[in-house]
Structure 1
Amino acid sequence: MSGFLKIENVDKSFTRGAATTKVLENVSLKVEKGQFVSIIGHSGCGKSTLLNIVAGLLSATSGGVILEEQEVNAPGPDRAMVFQNHSLLPWLSTYDNVRLAVDKVFRKVATRAERHQRTMRMLDLVQMAHAKDKRPGEISGGMKQRVGIARALAMEPKVLLLDEPFGALDALTRAHLQDQVMALQAKLGATVMMITHDVDEAVLLSDRIVMMTNGPRATIGEILPVPLARPRERVELAVDPVYLECRRRVLQFLYERHSYVEAA
């Protein structure tokens, strides 16, 4: 594979006083355009650090990230990030939170009317147009995340970065949003990298699952393809032998790594 997004030999160390800790060591990964890739591993294995390097929020100590043959060295609208906490501006309406991103990227190339249409189209995509005038404090946690996803997609990013976007939600809301993200990714052909601790979520959503070894000096231990046809129905997958085997493989990896840490 040529690699639409390439993470090449990334190391990341943090220094505090006289102590230096290497969090990531020799991490390399290629992601093709339109793929959904999940990164999974135990707490402290550097998942969020890696995603922040791809986002341009952190610099690698060595190695780097290439997106469509351009080096990533700063944040940019070609990489939109959705965090576990929605990060919406509480004094702005749902509409204005999304419009802020639209104006940032398209102010010079689109008319006011076109930017309004883009904003409403994104809200329609996540089924939030009905709440366009509500502020974040007036809507539920799941609705806030949908607005956050709409805001990210409104920038037409080349890569959508999701940092445990459903982690703070109840099980039913989480399942509903997972289904929405699957539908959006299929409709838009988006390239997605997602961090998760949830094995079932990783198997349900992903084309490939990247399994990280334990930190410090974490690296990629295994990459598991998920050869399940799309669209995917979660109820049918509950008894699908391919789904169950993928789930078993991820659990086995995580359990073996976890056992190693406990025995060390």
Structure 2
Amino acid sequence: MTSFIEVQNAEMVFTTRKGRFHALREINLQIERGEFITLIGHSGCGKSTLLNLIAGLLTPSSGVLLCDNREIAAPGPERAVVFQNHSLLPWLTCYENVHLGVERVFGASESKEQLKERTQAALALVGMSHAIAKRPHEISGGMKQRVGIARALAMEPKVLLMDEPFGALDALTRAHLQDELLKIVARTRSTVVMVTHDVDEAVLLSDRVVMMTNGPAATIGEILTVDLARPRLRVELAEDPAYVHYRKEVLDFLYTRHGHVEREAA
């Protein structure tokens, strides 16, 4: 039985002014439907490159990627991406930003009223119904990111791809949105692949943490299965021995087994 997403022997080599740069090598990864996967590693380890390959924004130099038994050759509405920068259009309201994506995906098959209901439901899902008529400059960074997530979810993607979506937010806002994301994923049962630098975020959210070796020619070093019951409450997990163990495993990988590059640079 095949997995929902499969990365088979993927390599990524970029041609630059200074020559060829081997970003990723021998990437093999299987993701099941409904799984929450985080990609973690030091800067330059190819996390975002791997996410962009799954999104279809990049084509691998060799190897193949599959989603639902179809080769990933280009971006598609079944794979929605949420970037660290919210990427909202500043001249449109929150409603219009979400509706734009909804209309693109469902405009040919649904009525205007159905499109409106779908847009409003997505904004309600992320708690942004109150800001439906506001433009991006009128709301906070955390709210902008909520709208970006709403736009992605409104398209009912099979896969939600997130590239450090909370990285630019303050700690309290980030924690709140992490908790909201856990609730949203529980309701939608989305398959999620998320890039993060945050060890606590990775353990809190994930079913599995994919740990990348240092670049260049980075690959998957280890995969940690996080066997913590859901729903997960961060306050309760803070002193949970299993949570502490998983957190230590990731830290050991990053700073003991694959921290030599940082020490040498220092």
1:147 aligns with 2:138: no
Change (3 A) 1:110 1:254: same
Write the distance in 2 (CA, Å) between the matches of 1:109 and 1:201: 38
Matched, 1:226 2:198: no
Match of 1:194, SS? strand
Tell me the equivalent position of 1:179. 179
Equivalent residues, number: 264
Tell me how far apart the structure 2 counterparts of residues 49 and 210 of structure 1 sit (CA, whole Å).
14
RMSD across aligned positions (CA):
1.1
* Cα distance in 1 for residues equivalent to 2:135 and 2:111: 25
Distance 1:50 1:171 in 2: 26
Question: Counterpart amino acid of 1:245?
Answer: H
Give the aligned partner of residue 91 of structure 2: 91
Q: Judging changes above 3 Å, is the alpha-carbon distance between structure 1 residues 112 and 20 closer, same or farther for their aligned structure 2 residues?
A: same
Unaligned runs of at least 5 residues, structure 2: none
Structure 2: distance between partners of 1:18 and 1:231:
48
TM-score, normalization by structure 1: 0.98
Structure 2 counterparts to residues 47-86 of structure 1, below 5 A = 47-86=47-86
Measure the CA separation in 1 of the matches of 2:188 and 2:151: 15
Structure 1 residues 87 and 18: alpha-carbon distance in aligned structure 2, compared to 1, 3 A threshold: closer
Distance 1:206 1:137 in 2: 32
1:210 is matched with which residue?
Answer: 210
Q: Distance in 2 between matches of 1:154 and 1:113?
A: 15
CA distance in 1, matches of 2:83, 2:93: 19
Map of 1:13 onto structure 2: 13
Q: Which residue of 2 aligns with 1:166?
A: 166
Q: Does 1:246 align with 2:246?
A: yes
CA drift at 1:17:
3.6
List runs of 5+ in structure 1 lacking aligned partners. Answer: none
Runs of at least 4 residues of structure 1 off by over 2 A? 259-264
Cα distance in 2 for residues equivalent to 1:122 and 1:81: 15
How much has 1:261 moved relative to structure 2? 5.1
Partner of 1:201: 201
Partners of 1:148 and 1:49 in 2: how far apart? 21
CA distance in structure 2 between the aligned counterparts of 1:98 and 1:132, rounded to whole angstroms: 10
CA–CA distance in 2 between the matches of 1:64 and 1:41? 23
Determine the structure 2 residue equivalent to 1:258: 259
Q: TM-score, length-normalised on structure 2? A: 0.97
Q: Distance in 2 between matches of 1:15 and 1:167?
A: 28
For residues 12 and 92 of structure 2, the distance between their equivalents in structure 1, rounded to whole angstroms, comes to 36
Partner of 2:38: 38
Task: Assess, with a 3 A threshold, how the Cα gap between structure 1 residues 220 and 111 changes in structure 2: closer, same or farther.
Answer: same
Matches of 1:260 and 1:134, distance apart in 2: 46
